[in-house]
Amino acid sequence: MTAPGLASPEPAGPRLLRGGPIAAEVRAAVAAEVVAFREAHGFVPALAVVIVGRDAPSTVYLHKILDGCRTVGIVDRLIELPEDAGPARVAEAVAALNADPAVAGIIVQMPLPPTIPLRTVIDVLDPAKDIDGIHPLNAGLLALGYEGFLPATAHAAVEILKRSGILLEGRRAVVVGRSNVVGKPAALLLLREHATVTICHSRTVDLARRVRDAEIVIVAAGRPGLITGEMLRPGAVVVDVGINVREGRIVGDVDAASAAPVVSAIAPVPGGVGPLTNAILLTHLMRAARNQAEGRVALGSRSMVPTLPMESMP
């Protein structure tokens, strides 16, 4: 029984790394930047989203992007193409946005219908407007350690750790998932922060052993409950990126109930990386807008490739 006047002895639980408050700070900074940009350049930049067909989850996600734009005063432009729009029509839409000086950034909503290979977009998309980092030029800049546009989700996953004051340098990190949009770029970003990084994937032998060795774990597998408490090291810091629907609820890739007594901190699902991703995307849009307005990149070009010598990080 609890003594009178004392709080009941609830288990403390891990620290929750919530994306919402960080996202609010990021959005406030972007809103101020939008005002300054308009004063300096006489217009507000636009973010264009191209969607082909009507994939329901993508539609929800894209409306969040458009709402995010409105919150900070960025102009939003939605280009909806029918499911049966062929590759030529998609390429034409992206090319038109490349050529439009009011549009600073372009997102092509994934997944594309099976009739449209990703190459259709990548072959046309201007890397200087590729604010979600899907173009090989931006992926290459990340791999080499140069400034380019990062995939927003991977950026948000690492940013939530940095902004929460989690030490990354010298620590053992495991990323579960090796997709080009989340796992691989998240691993490269952790490497940039001087963590010692292991990437695990669907063919990894003894995933539990790898994960148990890690002080930092980022999980982006799209497998609900894949990572359980007994696979985690006591005191580990975990970022759950997975978004899965189970029994009508959104759940992550980490089994929250068994992980909670083990870890020291967790970015949960929902409420962790998700809310930060869109805010991060808006920062990318403003960087693209500044680069373009200040003539730092010639659009449609290889001019984003740094002229500095490409040196390896020691």
CB of residue 220 vs ligand NAD: minimum separation in angstroms?
Answer: 4
- Identified binder of ligand NAD from the candidate list 181, 214, 237, 263, rule CB under 6 A: 181
| 59 sits near ligand NAD (criterion: CB under 6 A) | no
- Identified binder of ligand NAD from the candidate list 102, 117, 118, 202, rule CB under 6 A: 202
Segment near ligand NAD (CB under 6 A), from 26-34, 124-132, 196-204, 229-237? 196-204
- Identified binder of ligand NAD from the candidate list 26, 134, 221, 288, rule CB under 6 A: 221
E strands present in 171-308 = 172-176, 196-200, 216-219, 237-240, 244-246, 249-251, 265-267
Token pair 């890739």: residue: 253
- Identified binder of ligand NAD from the candidate list 163, 192, 201, 287, rule CB under 6 A: 201
| 154 sits near ligand NAD (criterion: CB under 6 A) | no
- Identified binder of ligand NAD from the candidate list 45, 105, 148, 242, rule CB under 6 A: 242
User: What is the C-alpha to C-alpha distance for residues 252 and 254, in angstroms, rounded to an integer?
Assistant: 5
User: What is the C-alpha to C-alpha distance for residues 267 and 261, in angstroms, rounded to an integer?
Assistant: 14
Cβ atoms of residues 279 and 163 within 8 Å: no
User: What is the C-alpha to C-alpha distance for residues 169 and 181, in angstroms, rounded to an integer?
Assistant: 23
| 273 sits near ligand NAD (criterion: CB under 6 A) | yes
Question: In terms of CB distance, is 191 or 226 closer to ligand NAD?
Answer: 226
- Identified binder of ligand NAD from the candidate list 69, 90, 220, 239, rule CB under 6 A: 220
The dihedral through the CA atoms of 97, 102, 104, 107 has a sign that is negative
Question: In terms of CB distance, is 85 or 161 closer to ligand NAD?
Answer: 161
| 243 sits near ligand NAD (criterion: CB under 6 A) | yes
Extract the tokens encoding 54: 């009507």
Token pair 């408050």: residue: 21
The binding track of 92-131 with respect to ligand NAD, each residue x by CB under 6 A or -, is: ----------------------------------------
Give the contacts of 151 (CB within 8 A, at least 6 positions apart). 132, 133, 134, 180, 181, 182, 185
Question: In terms of CB distance, is 102 or 208 closer to ligand NAD?
Answer: 208
| 283 sits near ligand NAD (criterion: CB under 6 A) | no
* Runs of H (alpha helix) within 148-206: 152-163, 183-192
Taking each helix axis from N to C end, the angle separating 19-41 and 152-163, rounded to the nearest 10 degrees, works out to 110
| 19 sits near ligand NAD (criterion: CB under 6 A) | no
Return residues touching ligand NAD (CB under 6 A).
153, 176-179, 181-183, 200-202, 204, 207, 220-223, 226, 241-244, 273-274, 277
